[in-house]
Chain A
Amino acid sequence: MIKIKIRDASQQLFAWVSALITLAACFGIILFLLVKGHGAVTLEFLLTDPNPTFQAEGAGGILAPMAGTFIVTLTGVVIALPWAIATATYLSEYAKKNLATAYLKLAIDVLSGVPTIVIAIFGVALFTNPTLGFLSSMIEGVEGVNKAFGKSFLVCGIGMAIMVLPYMIKTCEEAIKAVPNAFREASLALGASKKITITDVVLPSARRGIITAIILGMGRIIGDTAIVWLLLGGSIRMTGQQPWWHLSNWLSTLQNTGSTLTTYIFLNSPAGEGNKPELAFAASLVLVVIIVFLNAAAGLIGFMGKVKEE
């Protein structure tokens, strides 16, 4: 009897300690960043463009990297979402149980396991092709070279879309499969075609899961570095026509390069080219805060949807 009690208690203790370690790791990182980075996070830091310089006073802020993160995330999600919904709809509503479907599912699994640096190097090979030069810019002034530059916000967004596609497909597919069959039957019994049933009943019913897929995809894109490094490049500033934020320059900004928060962190850390770790910590803090907010938003949407349906 005592033996059993001791075993139970030790198991419970083990579970508690495991949970505590996870919590400690999460809060440890946030606390560390807060301590190291909070001093540098000022309104000016958030609202000025960075400068490549050795002097800390002239280094500027993270406006362009934040905008870069935003642009890459938006293009990635905008490209991936329709693709993901279409694939997920096919898999859950149309695909028959056969070899072709099995291969498609395997391909999605494999893609989700491909390291992002491999997707990035594939992107380099693809987008330096001169016929895709319109997505970035052509290399000029080098004799005998007919190649595209292969680095731009557009190219990076496409790379990101490929990267998040498998995750978004899976989340969307689960959301669509979770829609009760009763809704499909109700719609079909009203004389609606299968297509209308899917577009007007099934997908709207799965919208909560689809929003979750969007937020998950955004989180992955925001945190990625390898694809940004190879497909957007190592310049800390926006390289398109200035001022980059002017609406008339939007295409130039998209076709040229810049940085995101992740490459900004890398470039400012001692491991990268810079030596301004306090700025790297400050940018990391901003990045983590954005990710925490995104996760909170995902949770909130799930919660609100539940309340609304009850």
Chain B
Amino acid sequence: MGNVLVEHPLSKTNGSAPVSDDGCAIVVENVNAWYGRKQVLFNVDMQIKKNEIMAFIGPSGCGKTTLLRCFNRMNDIIKSFRLTGTIKIGDEDITSKNTDVLALRKKVGMVFQQPNPFPMSIFNNLRLPLAENFPDLEKAKIEDIIVQKLKDANIYTEIKDRLHHSALRISGGQQQRLCIARMLTIDPQILLFDEPCASLDPLSTKKIEDLLLQLKEKYTVVIVTHNIEQARRIADNVAFFYTGKLVEMGPAKKLFLAPETEMLERYLSGKF
């Protein structure tokens, strides 16, 4: 597995996340967010360091997915959504009206709760974003990158004989890793995962978790999870949300051993 994380053939940034002066990939300052009149995030401040796995935990409806979707502006497609505060990725405040959202989303990739491969072949699922973002690529080069990204996502050996079959015919766990491979084709620096294992069996979950641990070597990973055990297994830092507020945040080891707040203690012992 040593050579699994190979540089993107087109990489201009050597794969490291953009880093602001204090070594953070993402800096969230005083963020409040609303759906219509309902406020869903309250004064969130947070720093996410590069090349770490940050896990957002908390009960349903606590705002963790909303915050995650702020990082690549996916909330833009919800008309009633409104946000104040700043979110800095590198030196850029990505909440600004002038932000190039399409460029941002190429820098900040996302994998969703339900595997969502396009209804086309496995190969074309990866070819589509490549052809769109790098129109000048030769055919052979595109194939090289696709194979490489499938290898990076630890799925190539399982599906290498079925590259031109429908992506909807592989298992859910394979579909999710395919989606990860597809995200990697756009050469992102930060990877967002919105409960990526919610619909997967334990074995597939294990494979994704192993993959996340490999990916953090090169990328900054932010993951939303309902699974406390998962956060315990893979996260470097954990942020606990409750009703839109960031209640507690810190290194996973410390947080799970000795939670400071009673709220987190109750959540960890399953009392929600």
Binding site for B on A (CB under 8 A): 180, 182-193, 196, 200-201, 204-205, 308-310
Contacts and interface: CB of A to CB of B under 8 A. Distances in A.
Contact of A182 (B77, B105, B114): B114
A118 B72 CA distance: 53
B75 to A, nearest CB: 11
26 contacts: A182-B112, A182-B116, A183-B116, A183-B119, A184-B77, A185-B74, A186-B112, A186-B116, A186-B118, A186-B182, A187-B118, A188-B74, A189-B72, A189-B110, A189-B112, A189-B183, A190-B109, A190-B132, A190-B186, A191-B186, A204-B118, A205-B119, A308-B166, A309-B166, A309-B168, A310-B169
Interface in B100-146: 102-106, 109-110, 112, 114, 116-120, 128-129, 132-133
Given A191-B102, A192-B132, 17 more contacts: A183-B116, A183-B118, A185-B77, A185-B112, A185-B116, A186-B116, A188-B74, A189-B74, A189-B109, A190-B106, A190-B129, A190-B182, A190-B183, A191-B103, A191-B129, A191-B186, A196-B132
A188 B105 contact: yes
Contacts of A186: 112, 116-118, 179, 182
Nearest to B182: A190
Interface in B16-42: none
The 5 closest A-B CB pairs, nearest first, are A191-B106, A182-B116, A191-B105, A189-B110, A186-B116
Contacts, number: 65
Nearest to B106: A191
Given A186-B112, A309-B166, A191 B133 contact: yes
A196 B77 CA distance: 15
Interface in B163-218: 166, 168-169, 179, 182-183, 186
A82 B119 CA distance: 23
A205 B128 CA distance: 13
Contacts of A189: 72, 74, 105, 109-110, 112, 183
A53 B171 CA distance: 67
B198 to A, nearest CB: 13
A146 B133 CA distance: 56
Looking at chain A's contact residues, is the secondary structure mostly helix, strand, loop, or mixed?
helix
Contact of B128 (A182, A185, A200, A309): A200
B184 to A, nearest CB: 11
A201 B128 contact: yes
A193 to B, nearest CB: 6
A193 B102 CA distance: 7
Contacts of B186: 190-191
A180 B114 CA distance: 11
Contacts of A182: 112, 114, 116
Contacts of A308: 166
A200 B127 CA distance: 11
A190 B105 contact: yes
B132 A200 contact: yes
A63 B61 CA distance: 68
Contacts of A191: 102-106, 129, 133, 186
A180 B179 CA distance: 16
Nearest to B183: A190
B178 to A, nearest CB: 11
Contacts of A205: 118-119
Contacts of B110: 189
A307 to B, nearest CB: 10
A129 B134 CA distance: 51
Interface string B85-111: 000000000000000001111100110
Contacts of A200: 128, 132
A230 B128 CA distance: 48
